[in-house]
Chains A and B, each alone.
Chain A
């Protein structure tokens, strides 16, 4: 199998622009095109103000472009209503945030199973799947703990479990180690490298070039444009070439 070339892209930005302001137009992104394929392990890097966050919002279907199209699984989502986009977001994207963003009053298990709500799953099924996801990140013993009872690294691993429990095709991480010390950061990156598969893409948005170096594809951004898209190494994921 040759991922990326013959099969359909997981997500595609087609000359996308994102403009803020009415009278004075500020281009956060200017005619950006990007294609995310299966088995991609991509890092999006660039200095502050380069348009990384805007890119993240668009890739995560949290925002809509001012111009251009966003295709997910071949379907342009820019014309869809909020409910339909929310559903696509929930099914396709798994988010990991810099600040972990766990819901404080829920346990690790509760946080992970929140991603499975409103999908017609029974409480038992939600529990079982959430527990399995926690096992994947090595936190099964912490299932009943609340976020305040866990270290930053553990919280981020719970967040990763939450991101993958829906089996999304794209895991989108925003500076996932930005709030962690080096030991915890290394552990979290370990978990990330174990996440990928031939069917899934992992996208890290970061300004940490050390983290970017773990990716097989690095997209460089500057002033709202993609200035370089390097496919340096083969995909680290098993089975991908």
Chain B
């Protein structure tokens, strides 16, 4: 076959001469490919924001808490827990917080009753906490070592609490903790991996000991492990903290839950993919069906072409090329439609668009393959038509 250019033109003319019919049989590949592109795109985009957040937050944060040793009311970790944890080779950074109980936090006069009923958690924190959490300050600054040394009555509050208090950027604000006034020196941004910190008040170790008479023993540790060592580190932490003691230490990887929820719904995705494949297959049947009828309708045209000297194979290829074009065009239009649907729905739902363009050739190729296979039988039928029978001679 050396006449591809002429064949392509003839097949294209055949399709464009019957626009409605061509559009109708193109619907199969269009719907099939759009469904498949849309299925994957929508299920991935639905979790797009979570995926993006997960990438920002990292998956190597571990929290360690004192497990309730039997009979003990408020279990704590050893005072030097951070130093013990840092001895583990795969630990990169660690920070401790100590819950300070029995503190009434009053942001303004007249709020005593409300905050007595709904107490605000108060945590004694060290200066490294924001670095370990990898969370920036919304405004102001974090607690420093010299706040502790200078016995400053300074606090940092979580972003959630700042919102609750109505803190304005740059405002100088004091809050009362029991009978002491404290200056709010900064607001910590939201901590996606531990939302309980969003509504907490952070104070220095000195304040915890001096103003509230606590030992300042850590109740919770935040640890960043080396890349890819998160699980092993989490397993090693209880031993490192206990040093063989009887106290129980429980560890958690908070990103695990987030990671699980960021996974696209595979069942839904597969169901939708299957529906797309089904649409494509049914579309293929439609192509085979309509083209078979079309070959009958065009039997005179086929007879004329044969009388003009066109061979069986050129007639067959003419029809097969028509099927191929339907597949290519349908696949391209379907892919564009699928992407448009993903963009539209994501815009409406406020999702981050995730479209896997690398898989497009696969979907389009599938549509082309189905169309060509569907076109095989009608093309063979066209090639086998006897011109003498279709031309009604004599």
Contacts and interface: CB of A to CB of B under 8 A. Distances in A.
Contacts of A86: 306, 309-312
A120 B313 CA distance: 17
Given A101-B300, A162-B308, A118 B393 contact: no
B307 A83 contact: no
B310 A118 contact: yes
Contacts of A120: 2-3
B170 interface: no
A115 interface: yes
B307 A95 contact: yes
Contacts of A162: 308
A116 B219 CA distance: 91
Most buried by A among B3, B14, B394: B394
A99 B300 CA distance: 11
A204 to B, nearest CB: 13
Interface string A113-124: 011011010010
B388 A83 contact: no
B231 to A, nearest CB: 68
Interface stretch (A34-42, A50-58, A133-141, A225-233): A50-58
Contact of B301 (A54, A82, A97, A103): A103
Given A86-B306, A103-B304, A97 B394 contact: no
A40 to B, nearest CB: 20
The 8 closest A-B pairs by CB, nearest first: A90-B309, A53-B394, A105-B17, A86-B311, A118-B3, A83-B311, A115-B308, A53-B393
A98 B391 CA distance: 10
A156 to B, nearest CB: 14
B313 to A, nearest CB: 7
A52 B306 contact: no
A97 B312 contact: no
Contacts of A12: none
Contacts of A91: 309
A205 interface: yes
A interface secondary structure, majority: mixed
Given A56-B394, A90-B308, A103-B301, A118 B314 contact: yes
Given A53-B393, A86-B311, A63 B305 contact: no
A89 B309 contact: yes
B10 interface: yes
Nearest to B307: A95
A62 interface: yes
Nearest to A92: B309
Contacts of B14: 105
A125 B40 CA distance: 50
A106 interface: yes
Interface in A161-208: 162, 166, 174-175, 205
Nearest to B387: A62
Nearest to B314: A118
Interface string A61-98: 01100000000000000000011001101110101011
Contacts of B388: 57, 62-63
B69 interface: no
A97 B391 contact: yes
B310 A90 contact: yes
Which of B10, B303, B393 has the most A CB atoms < 10 Å from its CB?
Answer: B393
17 contacts: A83-B313, A86-B311, A86-B312, A89-B309, A98-B392, A99-B392, A101-B303, A101-B307, A105-B18, A106-B13, A106-B17, A115-B308, A115-B309, A117-B6, A118-B6, A118-B311, A175-B394
